[in-house]
Amino acid sequence: MAKYFDVHPEDPQRRVIGNVVESIRSGALIAYPTDSCFALGCKVGNREGIARIRAIRHLDERHHFTLVCRDFAQLGQLVYVDNNVFRAIKAATPGSYTFILPATREVPRQLLHPKKKTVGVRIPDHVVTQALLAELGEPLLSSTLLLPDEDEPMTQGWEIKERLDHVVDAVVDSGDCGTEPTTVIDFSGGRAEIVRSGAGDTTPFE
């Protein structure tokens, strides 16, 4: 049965955030809110957590996992970013975007696209997510909480607790969050390619 953490949306309780992060460090798979919608998340080196995300979402090996970062400095340790791409991403973050870029050696092999050796990265604009990342002190491996054969991601904490009670370890609820997945921009070829239009404005990348 999943633990349920009720977090204040504007002033997250440090004790509760600490308990969530302790669970993550102990190997938990969590459902948590972001500025786009709810996501599944676990510690980057958590192989079982990765396998559980794949099973819940029915993902194949070509799926791009996302490393959710606290800030640009953290993001820069995980992916290669040239000057033009740097400026474009810097202008759009924090925000509801996922950027696909060539990964550095800091990223575990099992998270990479098998052929392209790329990974997704993002810096969310969400108080609770940022509080979790600050306490964790490292990126959070994530994937949008979009169940198989459903067109829209789940957005209500209580519903997630009901439906995923036995497949996730914790649900973090801070009330309303975004209802659309992130906009996905692929920079791995050197130019912006819009892979998915979502919560982030695509205009700067067109």
Burial (0-12, 13-18, 19+ Cβ within 10 Å), 151: exposed
Each residue of 182-198: pLDDT tens digit? 999 999 988 999 999 99
- Domain with 60 in it: what CATH number? 3.90.870.10
Q: Is the dihedral of CA 79, 138, 67, 98 positive or negative?
A: negative
Buried b (16+ CB within 10 A) or exposed e, 66-77: bbbbbeeebbee
| Whether residue 204 has a cis bond before it, omega within 30° of 0 | no
Q: How many CB atoms lie within 10 A of CB 62?
A: 9
Which domain does 187 fall in, by range? 3-205
Integer Cα distance of 76 and 99 in angstroms: 12
pLDDT value for 105: 93
Domain count, the chain: 1
Both structure tokens of 68: 């959710």
pLDDT value for 69: 97
Residues with pLDDT less than 50, the chain: none
pLDDT of residue 123: 97
